[in-house]
Chains A and B, each alone.
Chain A
Protein backbone atom coordinates (compact mmCIF):
# COMPACT_ATOMS: atom_id res chain seq x y z
CA UNK A 1 0.00 0.00 0.00
CA UNK A 2 2.78 2.34 0.97
CA UNK A 3 4.68 1.62 -2.21
CA UNK A 4 1.54 2.13 -4.25
CA UNK A 5 0.97 5.54 -2.68
CA UNK A 6 4.59 6.46 -3.21
CA UNK A 7 4.37 5.49 -6.88
CA UNK A 8 1.20 7.50 -7.37
CA UNK A 9 2.73 10.47 -5.67
CA UNK A 10 5.78 10.32 -7.92
CA UNK A 11 3.63 9.95 -11.02
CA UNK A 12 1.58 12.96 -9.96
CA UNK A 13 4.71 15.00 -9.40
CA UNK A 14 6.07 14.07 -12.81
CA UNK A 15 2.80 15.02 -14.44
CA UNK A 16 2.70 18.22 -12.50
CA UNK A 17 6.19 19.23 -13.55
CA UNK A 18 5.47 18.31 -17.17
CA UNK A 19 2.31 20.41 -17.27
CA UNK A 20 3.65 23.19 -15.10
CA UNK A 21 3.31 26.01 -17.55
CA UNK A 22 0.73 25.25 -20.15
CA UNK A 23 0.40 28.33 -22.31
CA UNK A 24 -2.66 30.36 -21.53
CA UNK A 25 -3.73 28.46 -18.43
CA UNK A 26 -3.74 30.02 -15.00
CA UNK A 27 -1.65 28.25 -12.41
CA UNK A 28 -3.12 28.47 -8.91
CA UNK A 29 -1.27 27.19 -5.83
CA UNK A 30 -3.31 27.23 -2.66
CA UNK A 31 -1.65 26.99 0.76
CA UNK A 32 -4.35 26.19 3.30
CA UNK A 33 -7.12 28.73 2.92
CA UNK A 34 -5.01 31.80 3.61
CA UNK A 35 -2.64 32.16 0.69
CA UNK A 36 -3.08 31.64 -3.03
CA UNK A 37 -0.27 32.06 -5.51
CA UNK A 38 -1.48 33.03 -8.98
CA UNK A 39 0.88 32.59 -11.90
CA UNK A 40 0.70 32.68 -15.67
CA UNK A 41 -2.01 35.35 -15.75
CA UNK A 42 -2.57 38.40 -17.93
CA UNK A 43 -4.19 40.82 -15.53
CA UNK A 44 -6.79 41.59 -12.89
CA UNK A 45 -10.32 42.09 -14.19
CA UNK A 46 -11.91 43.03 -10.89
CA UNK A 47 -10.72 43.31 -7.35
CA UNK A 48 -12.39 44.06 -4.02
CA UNK A 49 -12.40 42.62 -0.48
CA UNK A 50 -14.62 39.67 -1.33
CA UNK A 51 -13.63 38.74 -4.88
CA UNK A 52 -10.59 38.86 -7.11
CA UNK A 53 -11.04 38.04 -10.77
CA UNK A 54 -7.93 37.31 -12.79
CA UNK A 55 -7.66 36.54 -16.46
CA UNK A 56 -5.23 34.64 -18.62
CA UNK A 57 -5.28 34.03 -22.38
CA UNK A 58 -7.61 31.05 -22.10
CA UNK A 59 -9.17 31.21 -18.66
CA UNK A 60 -10.74 33.45 -16.06
CA UNK A 61 -10.43 32.60 -12.37
CA UNK A 62 -12.66 34.07 -9.68
CA UNK A 63 -11.35 33.84 -6.13
CA UNK A 64 -14.03 34.39 -3.53
CA UNK A 65 -13.52 34.97 0.17
CA UNK A 66 -13.31 37.53 2.92
CA UNK A 67 -10.81 40.33 3.57
CA UNK A 68 -8.93 39.52 0.39
CA UNK A 69 -5.75 41.42 -0.24
CA UNK A 70 -2.97 41.19 -2.78
CA UNK A 71 0.28 40.80 -0.88
CA UNK A 72 2.35 41.54 -3.94
CA UNK A 73 1.76 42.03 -7.62
CA UNK A 74 4.54 41.41 -10.09
CA UNK A 75 4.74 40.68 -13.81
CA UNK A 76 4.73 36.92 -13.52
CA UNK A 77 2.90 36.23 -10.30
CA UNK A 78 0.78 37.62 -7.51
CA UNK A 79 -0.08 36.41 -4.05
CA UNK A 80 -3.64 36.70 -2.78
CA UNK A 81 -4.05 36.51 1.00
CA UNK A 82 -7.13 36.48 3.18
CA UNK A 83 -9.80 33.95 3.96
CA UNK A 84 -10.22 32.12 0.66
CA UNK A 85 -13.53 30.29 0.37
CA UNK A 86 -14.07 29.62 -3.30
CA UNK A 87 -12.09 29.36 -6.52
CA UNK A 88 -13.88 29.17 -9.82
CA UNK A 89 -12.07 28.69 -13.12
CA UNK A 90 -13.83 29.16 -16.45
CA UNK A 91 -12.66 29.02 -20.01
CA UNK A 92 -12.65 32.59 -21.30
CA UNK A 93 -14.90 31.82 -24.23
CA UNK A 94 -17.55 30.05 -22.09
Chain B
Protein backbone atom coordinates (compact mmCIF):
# COMPACT_ATOMS: atom_id res chain seq x y z
CA UNK B 1 0.00 0.00 0.00
CA UNK B 2 2.75 2.47 0.92
CA UNK B 3 4.57 1.83 -2.39
CA UNK B 4 1.34 2.44 -4.26
CA UNK B 5 0.76 5.68 -2.36
CA UNK B 6 4.35 6.86 -2.92
CA UNK B 7 4.02 6.13 -6.60
CA UNK B 8 0.65 7.73 -7.24
CA UNK B 9 0.76 10.30 -4.45
CA UNK B 10 -1.31 10.87 -1.34
CA UNK B 11 -2.77 14.00 0.22
CA UNK B 12 -3.62 15.09 3.72
CA UNK B 13 -7.07 16.55 3.81
CA UNK B 14 -8.75 18.76 6.37
CA UNK B 15 -12.51 18.38 6.40
CA UNK B 16 -15.04 20.61 8.14
CA UNK B 17 -18.77 20.21 8.25
CA UNK B 18 -21.75 19.09 10.26
CA UNK B 19 -22.20 15.67 8.70
CA UNK B 20 -18.78 14.10 9.13
CA UNK B 21 -20.10 10.67 10.12
CA UNK B 22 -22.27 10.63 6.98
CA UNK B 23 -19.26 11.70 4.96
CA UNK B 24 -17.26 8.72 6.29
CA UNK B 25 -20.11 6.33 5.58
CA UNK B 26 -20.47 7.60 2.03
CA UNK B 27 -16.72 7.29 1.50
CA UNK B 28 -16.90 3.63 2.40
CA UNK B 29 -19.92 3.18 0.09
CA UNK B 30 -18.02 4.81 -2.78
CA UNK B 31 -15.00 2.64 -1.84
CA UNK B 32 -12.78 5.63 -1.18
CA UNK B 33 -10.06 4.47 1.15
CA UNK B 34 -9.20 6.83 4.05
CA UNK B 35 -6.45 6.36 6.59
CA UNK B 36 -4.88 8.07 9.60
CA UNK B 37 -8.16 9.79 10.44
CA UNK B 38 -7.83 12.09 13.44
CA UNK B 39 -10.17 14.53 15.07
CA UNK B 40 -9.17 18.20 14.92
CA UNK B 41 -11.94 19.50 17.12
CA UNK B 42 -15.69 19.80 16.86
CA UNK B 43 -16.92 19.18 13.28
CA UNK B 44 -13.41 18.96 11.91
CA UNK B 45 -11.27 15.96 10.99
CA UNK B 46 -8.11 15.36 9.00
CA UNK B 47 -7.17 12.25 7.07
CA UNK B 48 -4.95 10.96 4.32
CA UNK B 49 -6.17 9.62 1.02
CA UNK B 50 -4.88 8.70 -2.38
CA UNK B 51 -4.42 11.71 -4.67
CA UNK B 52 -6.42 9.96 -7.39
CA UNK B 53 -9.49 9.68 -5.14
CA UNK B 54 -9.75 13.42 -4.45
CA UNK B 55 -11.83 14.02 -7.59
CA UNK B 56 -14.14 11.15 -6.67
CA UNK B 57 -15.03 13.02 -3.46
CA UNK B 58 -17.06 15.66 -5.31
CA UNK B 59 -20.51 13.96 -5.03
CA UNK B 60 -19.84 13.05 -1.39
CA UNK B 61 -19.00 16.65 -0.54
CA UNK B 62 -22.07 17.89 -2.36
CA UNK B 63 -24.33 15.52 -0.46
CA UNK B 64 -22.90 16.22 2.99
CA UNK B 65 -22.14 19.92 2.58
CA UNK B 66 -18.63 19.46 4.00
CA UNK B 67 -15.70 21.66 3.00
CA UNK B 68 -12.40 20.16 2.03
CA UNK B 69 -8.93 21.69 2.24
CA UNK B 70 -5.77 19.92 1.08
CA UNK B 71 -3.00 20.56 3.64
CA UNK B 72 -0.19 18.34 2.46
CA UNK B 73 0.86 16.57 -0.72
CA UNK B 74 3.15 13.55 -0.72
CA UNK B 75 4.50 11.08 -3.28
CA UNK B 76 6.20 10.96 -6.65
CA UNK B 77 3.76 13.04 -8.79
CA UNK B 78 4.00 16.01 -6.42
CA UNK B 79 7.77 15.60 -6.07
CA UNK B 80 8.26 15.77 -9.84
CA UNK B 81 5.86 18.68 -10.11
CA UNK B 82 7.61 20.64 -7.36
CA UNK B 83 11.16 20.21 -8.64
CA UNK B 84 10.48 20.22 -12.39
CA UNK B 85 12.26 23.55 -12.95
CA UNK B 86 15.31 22.83 -10.73
CA UNK B 87 18.51 22.45 -12.76
CA UNK B 88 19.96 19.85 -10.35
CA UNK B 89 16.81 17.73 -10.69
CA UNK B 90 16.86 17.86 -14.47
CA UNK B 91 20.62 17.23 -14.45
CA UNK B 92 20.26 14.17 -12.24
CA UNK B 93 17.58 12.71 -14.54
CA UNK B 94 19.86 13.32 -17.50
CA UNK B 95 22.79 11.72 -15.62
CA UNK B 96 20.65 8.71 -14.77
CA UNK B 97 19.71 8.26 -18.43
CA UNK B 98 23.32 8.66 -19.54
CA UNK B 99 24.50 6.16 -16.95
CA UNK B 100 21.76 3.76 -18.01
CA UNK B 101 22.69 4.17 -21.67
CA UNK B 102 26.37 3.60 -20.84
CA UNK B 103 25.65 0.47 -18.80
CA UNK B 104 23.47 -1.05 -21.50
CA UNK B 105 26.64 -1.27 -23.60
CA UNK B 106 27.92 -4.07 -21.36
CA UNK B 107 27.02 -7.74 -21.01
CA UNK B 108 25.30 -8.43 -17.70
CA UNK B 109 24.17 -12.02 -18.18
CA UNK B 110 25.18 -15.06 -20.21
CA UNK B 111 22.51 -17.62 -21.16
CA UNK B 112 23.60 -21.04 -22.25
CA UNK B 113 21.17 -23.60 -23.64
CA UNK B 114 21.25 -26.94 -25.39
CA UNK B 115 24.36 -28.23 -23.63
CA UNK B 116 24.31 -31.63 -21.97
CA UNK B 117 27.86 -33.02 -22.14
CA UNK B 118 29.55 -29.65 -21.88
CA UNK B 119 29.04 -28.31 -18.37
CA UNK B 120 27.98 -24.72 -17.83
CA UNK B 121 31.09 -23.96 -15.73
CA UNK B 122 33.37 -25.31 -18.44
CA UNK B 123 31.66 -23.24 -21.12
CA UNK B 124 31.79 -20.11 -18.96
CA UNK B 125 35.54 -20.59 -18.41
CA UNK B 126 35.94 -21.05 -22.17
CA UNK B 127 33.98 -17.85 -22.85
CA UNK B 128 35.98 -15.89 -20.29
CA UNK B 129 39.16 -16.90 -22.07
CA UNK B 130 37.64 -15.48 -25.26
CA UNK B 131 36.78 -12.19 -23.50
CA UNK B 132 33.05 -12.90 -23.32
CA UNK B 133 32.25 -12.57 -19.65
CA UNK B 134 29.80 -10.72 -17.40
CA UNK B 135 30.80 -7.06 -17.37
CA UNK B 136 32.60 -6.97 -20.73
CA UNK B 137 31.65 -4.48 -23.44
CA UNK B 138 29.02 -5.90 -25.78
CA UNK B 139 30.62 -4.25 -28.81
CA UNK B 140 33.85 -6.17 -28.31
CA UNK B 141 32.22 -9.56 -28.75
CA UNK B 142 32.43 -10.87 -32.28
CA UNK B 143 29.54 -13.34 -32.31
CA UNK B 144 30.48 -14.94 -35.65
CA UNK B 145 34.08 -15.52 -34.55
CA UNK B 146 32.85 -16.88 -31.23
CA UNK B 147 30.59 -19.37 -33.03
CA UNK B 148 33.55 -20.56 -35.09
CA UNK B 149 35.75 -20.84 -31.99
CA UNK B 150 33.14 -22.96 -30.20
CA UNK B 151 32.77 -25.29 -33.21
CA UNK B 152 36.54 -25.58 -33.45
CA UNK B 153 37.18 -26.19 -29.76
CA UNK B 154 34.40 -28.72 -29.18
CA UNK B 155 34.06 -31.42 -31.84
CA UNK B 156 30.87 -32.74 -30.19
CA UNK B 157 29.11 -29.43 -30.94
CA UNK B 158 27.56 -29.69 -34.40
CA UNK B 159 25.70 -26.37 -34.47
CA UNK B 160 25.84 -23.18 -32.43
CA UNK B 161 24.23 -19.79 -32.41
CA UNK B 162 25.62 -16.78 -30.54
CA UNK B 163 23.72 -13.53 -30.35
CA UNK B 164 23.41 -10.50 -28.10
CA UNK B 165 19.96 -9.37 -27.03
CA UNK B 166 19.80 -6.30 -24.82
CA UNK B 167 22.50 -6.82 -22.24
CA UNK B 168 22.45 -10.64 -22.42
CA UNK B 169 24.67 -12.93 -24.41
CA UNK B 170 22.72 -15.96 -25.64
CA UNK B 171 24.54 -19.10 -26.70
CA UNK B 172 22.60 -22.07 -28.08
CA UNK B 173 24.36 -25.35 -28.77
CA UNK B 174 23.43 -28.63 -30.41
CA UNK B 175 25.53 -31.61 -29.47
CA UNK B 176 26.07 -34.84 -31.34
CA UNK B 177 24.40 -37.79 -29.71
CA UNK B 178 27.13 -40.22 -28.76
CA UNK B 179 25.34 -43.32 -29.96
CA UNK B 180 28.49 -44.84 -31.42
CA UNK B 181 30.23 -44.55 -28.08
CA UNK B 182 27.34 -46.09 -26.18
CA UNK B 183 26.88 -49.02 -28.51
CA UNK B 184 30.52 -49.80 -28.91
CA UNK B 185 31.03 -53.15 -30.51
CA UNK B 186 33.75 -55.19 -28.99
CA UNK B 187 35.49 -57.68 -31.23
CA UNK B 188 36.37 -61.27 -30.30
CA UNK B 189 34.87 -63.63 -27.73
CA UNK B 190 32.60 -61.94 -25.19
CA UNK B 191 31.25 -64.12 -22.38
CA UNK B 192 28.14 -63.21 -20.40
CA UNK B 193 28.99 -63.45 -16.71
CA UNK B 194 26.96 -63.85 -13.53
CA UNK B 195 26.19 -60.56 -11.72
CA UNK B 196 25.83 -62.20 -8.28
CA UNK B 197 26.03 -65.49 -6.38
CA UNK B 198 22.88 -67.57 -6.70
CA UNK B 199 20.86 -70.04 -8.67
CA UNK B 200 20.06 -69.81 -12.38
CA UNK B 201 16.31 -69.21 -12.48
CA UNK B 202 15.91 -68.69 -16.21
CA UNK B 203 18.19 -69.01 -19.19
CA UNK B 204 17.44 -68.16 -22.77
CA UNK B 205 20.33 -67.97 -25.25
CA UNK B 206 20.20 -65.69 -28.27
CA UNK B 207 23.79 -65.98 -29.35
CA UNK B 208 26.65 -68.05 -27.91
CA UNK B 209 26.64 -71.31 -26.02
CA UNK B 210 25.01 -71.84 -22.63
CA UNK B 211 27.55 -72.67 -19.95
CA UNK B 212 25.00 -73.39 -17.24
CA UNK B 213 21.54 -74.88 -17.03
CA UNK B 214 18.42 -73.80 -15.16
CA UNK B 215 18.77 -74.59 -11.46
CA UNK B 216 22.60 -74.53 -11.40
CA UNK B 217 24.37 -72.72 -8.56
CA UNK B 218 26.76 -70.01 -9.80
CA UNK B 219 29.22 -67.62 -8.23
CA UNK B 220 29.61 -63.97 -9.15
CA UNK B 221 31.78 -63.70 -12.25
CA UNK B 222 31.11 -67.24 -13.50
CA UNK B 223 30.47 -67.58 -17.22
CA UNK B 224 26.80 -68.09 -18.02
CA UNK B 225 26.89 -67.95 -21.80
CA UNK B 226 30.11 -68.55 -23.71
CA UNK B 227 31.00 -66.10 -26.44
CA UNK B 228 31.60 -68.78 -29.04
CA UNK B 229 29.58 -71.19 -31.10
CA UNK B 230 30.79 -74.68 -32.00
CA UNK B 231 30.68 -75.42 -35.69
CA UNK B 232 29.66 -78.95 -36.76
CA UNK B 233 29.96 -80.50 -40.14
CA UNK B 234 27.32 -82.61 -41.89
CA UNK B 235 28.36 -85.69 -39.88
CA UNK B 236 27.56 -83.92 -36.62
CA UNK B 237 31.25 -83.91 -35.67
CA UNK B 238 32.87 -80.85 -34.29
CA UNK B 239 34.91 -78.96 -36.77
CA UNK B 240 38.20 -77.78 -35.38
CA UNK B 241 37.22 -74.19 -34.86
CA UNK B 242 34.70 -72.08 -33.04
CA UNK B 243 33.03 -68.91 -34.22
CA UNK B 244 33.66 -66.07 -31.75
CA UNK B 245 30.51 -64.05 -30.96
CA UNK B 246 29.29 -61.60 -28.34
CA UNK B 247 27.20 -63.68 -25.97
CA UNK B 248 23.60 -62.56 -25.73
CA UNK B 249 20.61 -63.91 -23.89
CA UNK B 250 18.25 -63.53 -20.95
CA UNK B 251 19.68 -65.07 -17.79
CA UNK B 252 18.17 -64.44 -14.39
CA UNK B 253 20.08 -65.32 -11.24
CA UNK B 254 17.91 -65.90 -8.20
CA UNK B 255 19.26 -65.23 -4.76
CA UNK B 256 17.75 -64.97 -1.29
CA UNK B 257 19.14 -61.97 0.56
CA UNK B 258 18.55 -60.82 4.15
CA UNK B 259 16.78 -57.47 4.52
CA UNK B 260 17.12 -55.43 7.69
CA UNK B 261 16.09 -51.85 8.36
CA UNK B 262 16.00 -50.14 11.74
CA UNK B 263 14.23 -47.05 13.00
CA UNK B 264 14.65 -45.34 16.36
CA UNK B 265 11.27 -44.73 17.97
CA UNK B 266 12.52 -41.49 19.51
CA UNK B 267 13.16 -38.65 17.11
CA UNK B 268 13.43 -34.88 17.01
CA UNK B 269 10.45 -33.28 15.31
CA UNK B 270 10.88 -29.92 13.65
CA UNK B 271 8.38 -27.38 14.91
CA UNK B 272 8.24 -24.43 12.59
CA UNK B 273 8.05 -21.29 14.65
CA UNK B 274 8.42 -18.37 12.32
CA UNK B 275 9.03 -17.53 8.69
CA UNK B 276 11.20 -14.54 7.92
CA UNK B 277 11.47 -12.98 4.51
CA UNK B 278 14.27 -10.76 3.32
CA UNK B 279 15.17 -9.17 0.04
CA UNK B 280 18.78 -8.21 -0.70
CA UNK B 281 20.37 -6.75 -3.77
CA UNK B 282 23.80 -7.66 -5.02
CA UNK B 283 25.98 -6.49 -7.84
CA UNK B 284 26.13 -9.09 -10.59
CA UNK B 285 28.85 -11.63 -10.02
CA UNK B 286 29.58 -10.60 -6.41
CA UNK B 287 28.28 -12.94 -3.79
CA UNK B 288 28.37 -10.99 -0.55
CA UNK B 289 26.16 -13.46 1.38
CA UNK B 290 24.50 -10.60 3.22
CA UNK B 291 21.75 -12.72 4.68
CA UNK B 292 23.88 -14.13 7.49
CA UNK B 293 23.97 -10.65 9.06
CA UNK B 294 20.17 -10.54 9.27
CA UNK B 295 19.24 -13.99 10.45
CA UNK B 296 18.74 -14.68 14.14
CA UNK B 297 20.90 -17.30 15.79
CA UNK B 298 18.33 -20.11 15.65
CA UNK B 299 17.94 -23.38 13.80
CA UNK B 300 16.57 -22.62 10.36
CA UNK B 301 16.15 -23.71 6.78
CA UNK B 302 16.90 -20.96 4.28
CA UNK B 303 15.50 -20.87 0.76
CA UNK B 304 16.88 -18.38 -1.71
CA UNK B 305 15.50 -17.28 -5.04
CA UNK B 306 17.92 -15.24 -7.11
CA UNK B 307 16.98 -13.34 -10.23
CA UNK B 308 18.67 -10.58 -12.17
CA UNK B 309 16.80 -7.30 -12.36
CA UNK B 310 15.53 -6.60 -15.84
CA UNK B 311 14.24 -3.63 -17.70
CA UNK B 312 11.99 -4.12 -20.75
CA UNK B 313 12.57 -7.86 -20.41
CA UNK B 314 15.78 -8.01 -22.45
CA UNK B 315 17.96 -5.44 -20.65
CA UNK B 316 19.49 -7.14 -17.65
CA UNK B 317 20.72 -4.69 -15.05
CA UNK B 318 23.98 -5.32 -13.14
CA UNK B 319 21.97 -6.07 -10.02
CA UNK B 320 20.54 -9.31 -8.74
CA UNK B 321 17.65 -9.58 -6.37
CA UNK B 322 17.82 -12.31 -3.75
CA UNK B 323 14.59 -13.28 -2.05
CA UNK B 324 15.32 -15.22 1.10
CA UNK B 325 12.81 -17.19 3.07
CA UNK B 326 14.16 -18.37 6.41
CA UNK B 327 11.98 -20.86 8.26
CA UNK B 328 12.95 -21.04 11.90
CA UNK B 329 12.27 -24.18 13.85
CA UNK B 330 12.67 -25.79 17.23
CA UNK B 331 13.40 -29.46 17.76
CA UNK B 332 10.92 -31.25 19.96
CA UNK B 333 11.57 -34.81 21.15
CA UNK B 334 8.81 -37.12 19.93
CA UNK B 335 8.17 -40.84 19.64
CA UNK B 336 6.86 -42.67 16.59
CA UNK B 337 3.66 -44.61 17.09
CA UNK B 338 3.46 -48.17 15.76
CA UNK B 339 1.53 -47.13 12.64
CA UNK B 340 3.90 -44.22 11.89
CA UNK B 341 6.95 -46.47 12.25
CA UNK B 342 5.34 -49.09 9.99
CA UNK B 343 4.62 -46.47 7.39
CA UNK B 344 8.21 -45.15 7.44
CA UNK B 345 9.74 -48.63 7.28
CA UNK B 346 7.45 -49.61 4.41
CA UNK B 347 8.38 -46.41 2.60
CA UNK B 348 12.07 -47.27 3.03
CA UNK B 349 11.41 -50.77 1.75
CA UNK B 350 9.68 -49.34 -1.33
CA UNK B 351 12.64 -47.01 -1.88
CA UNK B 352 14.99 -50.01 -1.65
CA UNK B 353 12.87 -51.88 -4.21
CA UNK B 354 12.85 -48.84 -6.49
CA UNK B 355 16.61 -48.39 -6.16
CA UNK B 356 17.46 -51.98 -7.07
CA UNK B 357 14.69 -51.94 -9.68
CA UNK B 358 16.61 -49.25 -11.56
CA UNK B 359 19.45 -51.76 -11.93
CA UNK B 360 17.01 -54.28 -13.34
CA UNK B 361 16.84 -56.38 -10.15
CA UNK B 362 13.37 -57.62 -9.29
CA UNK B 363 11.98 -58.75 -5.97
CA UNK B 364 9.98 -61.92 -6.58
CA UNK B 365 9.23 -62.90 -3.01
CA UNK B 366 9.52 -61.23 0.36
CA UNK B 367 9.29 -62.51 3.88
CA UNK B 368 9.71 -59.54 6.23
CA UNK B 369 8.09 -58.58 9.52
CA UNK B 370 8.14 -55.41 11.63
CA UNK B 371 9.22 -55.85 15.25
CA UNK B 372 9.73 -53.54 18.18
CA UNK B 373 12.77 -54.23 20.36
CA UNK B 374 12.96 -51.75 23.20
CA UNK B 375 13.07 -48.33 21.61
CA UNK B 376 13.87 -49.55 18.13
CA UNK B 377 11.51 -50.65 15.37
CA UNK B 378 13.08 -53.04 12.91
CA UNK B 379 11.97 -54.59 9.67
CA UNK B 380 13.61 -57.98 9.35
CA UNK B 381 13.45 -60.90 7.01
CA UNK B 382 14.67 -61.86 3.59
CA UNK B 383 13.84 -61.06 0.00
CA UNK B 384 14.17 -63.19 -3.11
CA UNK B 385 15.95 -61.20 -5.79
CA UNK B 386 16.31 -61.86 -9.50
CA UNK B 387 19.42 -60.33 -11.05
CA UNK B 388 19.57 -60.01 -14.84
CA UNK B 389 22.97 -60.85 -16.35
CA UNK B 390 24.18 -57.99 -18.52
CA UNK B 391 27.93 -57.78 -18.07
CA UNK B 392 30.25 -59.08 -20.79
CA UNK B 393 33.85 -60.15 -20.30
CA UNK B 394 36.47 -61.02 -22.89
CA UNK B 395 36.93 -64.78 -23.10
CA UNK B 396 38.94 -67.27 -25.08
CA UNK B 397 37.99 -69.84 -27.67
CA UNK B 398 38.75 -73.33 -26.34
CA UNK B 399 41.03 -75.58 -28.29
CA UNK B 400 39.42 -78.43 -30.16
CA UNK B 401 41.22 -81.72 -30.43
Contacts and interface: CB of A to CB of B under 8 A. Distances in A.
Interface of A: 42-49, 68-75
Contacts of B20: 44, 47
B35 A43 contact: no
Chain A CB count within 10 A is highest, among B22, B33, B39, B45, for B39
Contact of B29 (A48, A70, A72, A75): A75
Given A47-B39, A48-B39, A49-B38, A74 B24 contact: no
Contacts of A45: 21
A75 B35 contact: no
Nearest to A80: B37
B45 A47 contact: yes
State which size class the interface on B falls in.
Answer: 20 to 34
Taking chain A's interface residues, is the majority helix, strand, or loop, or is none over half, making it mixed? strand
B307 interface: no
Interface string B13-35: 00000001110110111010111
Contacts of B233: none
A73 B27 contact: yes
B216 interface: no
Chain B CB count within 10 A is highest, among A46, A68, A73, for A73
A62 to B, nearest CB: 14
B36 interface: yes
A71 B35 contact: yes
B25 A71 contact: no
Contacts of B41: 48
B21 A69 contact: no
A68 B36 CA distance: 10
Nearest to B37: A70
A68 B39 CA distance: 8
Contacts of A74: 28, 33
A42 B36 CA distance: 19
A44 B34 contact: no
Contacts of B42: 48
Interface of B: 20-22, 24-25, 27-29, 31, 33-39, 41-42, 45, 47
B33 A72 contact: yes
A73 B47 CA distance: 10
Contacts of A44: 20-21, 24-25
Contacts, number: 54
A43 B37 contact: no
A44 B47 CA distance: 15
Contacts of B33: 72-74
27 contacts: A42-B25, A44-B20, A44-B25, A45-B21, A46-B21, A47-B21, A47-B24, A47-B37, A47-B45, A48-B39, A49-B38, A49-B39, A68-B39, A70-B34, A70-B37, A70-B38, A71-B35, A71-B37, A72-B34, A72-B36, A72-B37, A73-B27, A73-B34, A73-B47, A74-B28, A74-B33, A75-B31
Contacts of B22: 43
Nearest to B43: A48
A45 B20 CA distance: 9
A44 B29 CA distance: 13
Given A75-B28, A75-B29, A43 B34 contact: no
Nearest to B39: A48
Contact of A43 (B21, B31, B38, B47): B21
Contacts of B38: 49, 69-70
Contacts of B24: 43-44, 47, 73
A44 B36 CA distance: 15
B25 A43 contact: yes
Nearest to B29: A75
A48 B42 CA distance: 8
Given A42-B25, A43-B24, A44-B21, A69 B31 contact: no
Given A47-B21, A73-B33, 7 more contacts: A45-B21, A47-B37, A71-B36, A72-B35, A73-B24, A73-B27, A75-B31
A48 B40 CA distance: 8
Contacts of A49: 38-39
Nearest to A51: B39
A73 B33 CA distance: 7
Chain A CB count within 10 A is highest, among B22, B28, B31, for B28
A73 B27 CA distance: 9
A22 to B, nearest CB: 21
Nearest to B22: A43
B318 to A, nearest CB: 39
A83 B237 CA distance: 113
Nearest to A69: B38
